[in-house]
Amino acid sequence: MCGIVGYIGSRPAVPILLGGLKRLEYRGYDSAGIAVGNGSVGVFKQKGSVGALEVALQASSSMLGDATMGIGHTRWATHGDPSDRNSHPHTSMDGSIALIHNGIIENYSALRTELRSQGFEFASDTDSEVLVHLIDSIWSSCPELSMEEAVRKALHHVDGAYGICVISGRDPQRIVVARKGSPLVIGLGDGEFFIASDAAPIVEHTKKVVYLSDGEMAVVTRDGYHVKTVGNEAREKSVTELDFDLEEIEKGGFEHFMLKEIFEQPVTMQEVMRGRVRHEDGFVRLGGIEDYLDRIRDARRIVICACGTSWHAGLIGEYLLEEFARIPVEVDYASEFRYRNPILDEHDVVIVISQSGETADTLAALRLAKEKGALVVGICNVVGSTIARETHCGMYTHAGPEIGVASTKAFTAQVIVLYLLSLVLSKDRSLSRHDISLYLRELGEVPEKVSRILELNDQILEIAREYVDSRNCLYLGRGYNFPVALEGALKLKEISYIHAEGYPAAEMKHGPIALIDEDMPVVFIAQQDATHGKILSNVEEVRSRKGRVIAVANEGDEEIARLADHVIYIPSAAAPVTPLLNVIPLQMLSYHIATLRGCNVDRPRNLAKSVTVE
């Protein structure tokens, strides 16, 4: 999705806006622009990265330099291709109003027709531009209105999702912002204020933030801010203290955020467990759901809703919750769940999983589940995100800011939270305290085992070199590791643009085997568990059709070495924790193949870190 920033204070706004946009570029990066207010409004925007915008600005003779308030935008195109004229900010025909927008205006076509009939001309193909002309049409017909009032009235005509910032020379020295569906945060500085889609651009300036909720708007000046609903009701907002530091959103010497986040996992995995687990005596506690534990334990069933990588974590959660807690579980794509009119009531528990906590489909699934009376439990990484604030209760994954678009450390953190949840629910029900301490001990050994797997980086790089030119790839796993096969395939797809599919290994014979030939690499997760013999037969089936095999296997497994072209040996562990180990080589393999192909792994094409529109 798009990234939005704003600043009003006493310092030059341009460098602050550009710095903020760079921190948000993982949200969208096909064009960028800024608008500053200095009595009149000055706009500078173009197709391409924020870095390119900065260079163009320095080369231009634009007089934006000394303005001390402004707004900025980095775009992820939904309506209108990436181009100079479709980049934001959009302005009114006389240039006196500038607006940036994150989201989708669903009734933009009708509004466009109406505004055209009033004589408004459109400079872009975007849905967003209708907003600035709508504000202009209302304000021009009632010049005595304040900018806040004009924006409020305009929003009453809008269907869809938006996070907007508006400035104008007609009502200078203030920024009007509003949100519905798309996130917005206000950073409270000393005589200066910051606005952004998330806290990443704000933390280097202040740790005090206010999260706007859906249907709220704010007016921000140098003296302060006030929040009201779009319905004009005043709102008192609580101030949140950010719990992360600037260096956590820096690359820390790694070439890419994705690689840094892969290598952070031994630490982030411990962070997930901190204060929740005592391995030695089987103590496990999840404070965020304690008040609802009985209701969760007595649930008729648990429905897990999520998207993308979080959905894969949900699938592993199904295996864990059914095995440990013996509660029936089903896992749904949030985008399907929200439209299939699911049978739900107060006897059901819905778990929504989201790294960003802003994914539109997951948010809608949450709201639908609440409407139907189910208890909604959240598993989120971003503190203060919309999903975290709207669930009944939940657990943070504490993986720290995840900047790389391809999720890695958040995935393993989600799986650990689901593991702990399964053990908490199994207490005095299906597992003894002793069993629980055994499973906690297994979990406790995972970070160190992951550190050993990360040492295989060079070997995995060498394997990657042999598959750089692949056009397709198949990932196969069984049991707990079937979802890991799906996750491995997703990682390769999203950052290297190689077509890849994950399957339960036994499912291969029912179709995918037709794809196998000497050009089809097949990645096997060959766990030395009850299914090992079956996996070896599957490897034989691939070999007999000249498929090339990469196997992630346990140290000491000589049989697989006989069959596979490449074997990545990793430490063994109890089946329920193996996804946390097996996914690491798959993350690294996709990373190396993608970088060797020259792909920008932190900014994969067509993708965005949090998908805040449908």
User: At its nearest, how many Å lie between ligand AGP and the CB of residue 608?
Assistant: 8
Quickly count: other Cβ atoms within 10 Å of residue 355's Cβ: 29
- For every residue of 107-166, DSSP letters joined together read THHHHHHHHHHTT---SSS-STHHHHHHHHHHHHH-TTS-HHHHHHHHHTT--EEEEEEE
User: At its nearest, how many Å lie between ligand AGP and the CB of residue 387?
Assistant: 8
User: At its nearest, how many Å lie between ligand AGP and the CB of residue 405?
Assistant: 5
Nearer to ligand AGP, 78 or 86 (CB): 78
Question: Which pair of tokens denotes residue 257?
Answer: 């955020």
Nearer to ligand AGP, 359 or 531 (CB): 359
Nearer to ligand AGP, 43 or 305 (CB): 305
Quickly count: other Cβ atoms within 10 Å of residue 555's Cβ: 10
Question: Which pair of tokens denotes residue 258?
Answer: 């994705």
Question: Which pair of tokens denotes residue 491?
Answer: 């990682």
User: At its nearest, how many Å lie between ligand AGP and the CB of residue 324?
Assistant: 23
User: At its nearest, how many Å lie between ligand AGP and the CB of residue 316?
Assistant: 14
153 is catalytic: no
**Rounded to an integer, what distance in angstroms lies between the CA atom of residue 485 and that of residue 464?**
17
Nearer to ligand AGP, 408 or 531 (CB): 408
487 and 312 Cβ atoms separated by less than 8 Å:
yes
**Rounded to an integer, what distance in angstroms lies between the CA atom of residue 275 and that of residue 417?**
13
97: which strand partners?
168
**Rounded to an integer, what distance in angstroms lies between the CA atom of residue 219 and that of residue 451?**
48
User: At its nearest, how many Å lie between ligand AGP and the CB of residue 494?
Assistant: 6
Nearer to ligand AGP, 425 or 611 (CB): 611
Active-site position among 260, 409, 427, 609: 609
Residue 483: what residue type? P
Q: Which residues contact 518 (CB under 8 A, 6 or more apart)?
A: 546, 547, 548
User: Closest Cα partner for 73 from 101, 103, 43, 53?
Assistant: 101
For helices 482-496 and 578-596, the axis angle rounded to 10 degrees is: 20
Nearer to ligand AGP, 269 or 486 (CB): 486
Contact positions vs ligand AGP (CB under 6 A): 307-310, 354-356, 359, 362, 405-407, 494, 610-611
Active-site position among 2, 165, 393, 599: 2
User: At its nearest, how many Å lie between ligand AGP and the CB of residue 76?
Assistant: 12
Backbone angles phi, psi at 454, to 5 degrees: -65, -25
Nearer to ligand AGP, 42 or 308 (CB): 308
User: At its nearest, how many Å lie between ligand AGP and the CB of residue 91?
Assistant: 32
524: which strand partners?
476, 551
User: At its nearest, how many Å lie between ligand AGP and the CB of residue 282?
Assistant: 30
Tell how far CA 425 is from the center of its chain: 27
- Map 503-569 to HEC letters: EEHHHHHHCHHHHCCCCCEEEEEECCCCCHHHHHHHHHHHHCCCCEEEEEEECCCHHHHHHCCEEEE
Nearer to ligand AGP, 307 or 369 (CB): 307
User: Closest Cα partner for 412 from 516, 261, 574, 613?
Assistant: 261
**Rounded to an integer, what distance in angstroms lies between the CA atom of residue 73 and that of residue 195?**
11
Q: Which residues contact 74 (CB under 8 A, 6 or more apart)?
A: 2, 3, 21, 24, 25, 27, 28, 29, 31, 32, 50
**Rounded to an integer, what distance in angstroms lies between the CA atom of residue 75 and that of residue 608?**
10
Backbone angles phi, psi at 347, to 5 degrees: -85, -5
Judged by phi (left if over 0) then psi (alpha if -120 to 50, else beta), residue 88 lies in beta
Nearer to ligand AGP, 78 or 437 (CB): 78
2 is catalytic: yes
The catalytic residues are 2, 609
